[in-house]
Amino acid sequence: MASGAIRRLQDRVLGPSRTGIPSSTSEIWLLGVCYKISESESSQVADAFTQDFSSFVLMTYRRGFEAIGDTTYTSDVNWGCMLRSGQMLFAQVWLCYFKGWEGLGGKRNLSEDGERGGAPILCIEDVTKTCLEYSKGETEWTSVLLFVPLVLGLDKVNPRYIPSLLATFTFPQSLGILGGKPGASTYIVGVQEDKGFYLDPHDVLQVVTVNKETQDVDTSSYHCNTVRYVPLESLDPSLALGFYCRDKDDFDDFCIRATKLAGDSNGAPLFTVTKSHRTGDRGIAETSTVTCTCEEHEDEWQLL
């Protein structure tokens, strides 16, 4: 299918493409960075937000890469959007891991000092054990990537969860949301009021080959200058939250924030935090996924 046809198809799934900043007065949160918009500074702050949004790595459908394994697939059009959304989140992890990401237009708001229900539970004991096993006992702690898989309703996200979803973007550890609608995955990196700003993988672009002979590579197609947003309530309720904790202090800060968020959720927590599995009669729900990061490099590879 042509790129234009793909775009029209995905617009029907995700809804009409909404671009720009929907409100000029409400603050915006972009992966833990706050953009406080006032009437006197609206244009400067909006410009800073747009610049930061375009700095994220965009992964889209690609065509022209080497056939996958024994197949004839040289493009991921129509089936690769979930993989691309995941690649965008992992690209953000690497940016945080190697150089940090603070944003240009805002300041991180640090200092904040649950209820359990059926929400997933993050067990600190499990994270500590995973870090020790990963480092083979050489160090007590490593950088940690957390995924929290959620189902927040039936056909769409239950409105009672929206305030908590919005609040996760105030966490300095936030990596956003992997979500969208059935058949159309996106990477949501920011929020304003009840809307989510997202990177869309559904454009079809030519693969970029990188090797020792092609060091001067045009990477402009891996960034997006068009700001798109979607009402959070219209998302498919099956989604995943991502968080990156650089070190032990960062993880401890995340646990404090997550515990407070669960306590403020009016009985509808996204997830909760516990120190260990020894929780008496309450039992243990599904734990979130823990991944420790590592450094791996290859000399020659393709930007698929």
Active site members: 81, 200, 202
For 198, the token pair is 């997202």
Are β-strands 28-30 and 61-63 bridged in parallel, bridged antiparallel, or unpaired? unpaired
- CA dist., res. 122 & res. 223, Å (int): 33
For 166, the token pair is 């919005």
Contact predicate 245/128, CB 8 Å: no
Using a 10 angstrom Cβ sphere, with 0-12 exposed, 13-18 middle and 19 or more buried, the burial of residue 23 is: exposed
* Residue 257: φ, ψ to 5°: -65, -45
DSSP assignment of 70-105, as one string? TS---B-TTT-HHHHHHHHHHHHHHHHHHT----SS
For 172, the token pair is 């300095």
- CA dist., res. 125 & res. 182, Å (int): 35
- CA dist., res. 232 & res. 152, Å (int): 11
